[in-house]
Amino acid sequence: MPSYLGAIGTANPVHRIAQPQIAEFMASALGFGEADTRKLRALYRVSGIEHRYSVLLDYGRANGEYTFFPNTPDLEPFPSVGQRMAAYRREALPLAVEAVRNSLRQVPDVAAGSITHLVTVSCTGMYAPGLDIELVRALGLPPDVRRTCVNFMGCYAAVNALKLADAFCLADAGARVLIVSVELCTLHFQKSPEEDHLVSNALFGDGAVACLVQAAPLPNEVPSLALQAFHCGLEPDGHDDMAWHINDFGFEMTLSSYVPKLIQRGIRTLTDGLLDRLPVQLGDVRHFAIHPGGRKILEAIEAALGLTRDDNRHAYRVLRDYGNMSSATVLYVLREVLAAATPADDGAPVLSFAFGPGLTMEAMLLQLTVGSEQLAVAAHQQQEETVREAKLLTVH
């Protein structure tokens, strides 16, 4: 029997910053002249991103008055790892708590005390006692809740969290797993003109997401996704093209221009490896939840699998509105899939991908479980999320 994923709740910092504003901050911080600034603005224009969220207001202030970075022309002394981790510890918990509450609001019959397992996910900050223990205290979870931390695995880490949750539910039909992913990517801005850093600075944003996984469909007719199968692949030629290292001034992302080509080359093999053992063919799939690592990655997958931009619409919307939030992002896309489902989609397969260092490629097959009452709950939740987003501070 499959386990079920649902009640996906999200949370973002109050600072919603337009992509052109971030480009101006970056050009100023890097000391770019007119020619390099034009190139940087072009990179941001074609990113497919309109806004990103950050725990740092500084990205909306191109000419000083910073609260995190030094108010010096060259941002020196540049913030250390310790300063960035202090900001992570300060900001991660409130965001995680908000995401969990937005999740549990969808299932009022599920009490925090009924959670048996807690899986926390992050690659942008770590400390101990950590976020997992702080969530137990903040949410009133049972002190004996079984805690697992998935750290530093990058954008595909939420898939590993779902694998763990699925295994817990298969081992214990009474398991109720709370997954919480928090990524504060913008803490790790690198003041470097290297191409890898320019690209990563143009893509990543901050966000949190929480969801429930249990052995039975969620209560109160909440729409859910049955976890059908997982498959992992490695593209060894990409070992050095996507990486994540801790250095003196933050966590440094390597994201070479070859990554989309490597994914395009390997995605069909990954898909076949997932579907070959299932009674589902690629042609049977109408719903996709692809991690929007960047616009070129989405286009590469479309070319390799014969998908249209409309097939990928949920990923493009998340990329447009949030950027790449590392591990949290694919769960945002799955939330979009659930919100858009109709009664006719009940039982329909959903194909999902996520990618990360290694080059690691993860695939999942899920199945929609929806009905008219479930859709009413989903529509109400989506309306609440839209109202909340409209109230968030937009930095001009």
What pLDDT does 371 receive?
66
Going by the DSSP 8-state scheme, the letter that residue 290 receives in this structure is E
Spans in the chain with pLDDT lower than 70: 62, 64, 241, 243-244, 254-256, 371-396
Active site residues: 155
Domains of the chain: 224-374 (3.40.47.10)
The Cα–Cα gap between 28 and 44 comes to 15
What is the pLDDT at residue 289?
Answer: 98
**Residue 348 in 3-state DSSP?**
coil
Give dist(CA 187, CA 325) in Å, integer. Answer: 12
- Specify the pTM: 0.92
* Structure confidence at residue 246 (pLDDT): 79
Return the SS3 of 306: coil
pLDDT at position 394: 45
| Pairing of β 15-18 and β 394-395 | parallel
Residue 360 and residue 266 in contact, taking contact as beta carbons nearer than 8 Å: no
Q: Is 81 exposed, middle or buried (0-12, 13-18, 19+ CB in 10 A)?
A: middle
Look at residue 110 in the predicted model and tell me its pLDDT.
94
Res 249: pLDDT: 82
pLDDT confidence of residue 70: 94
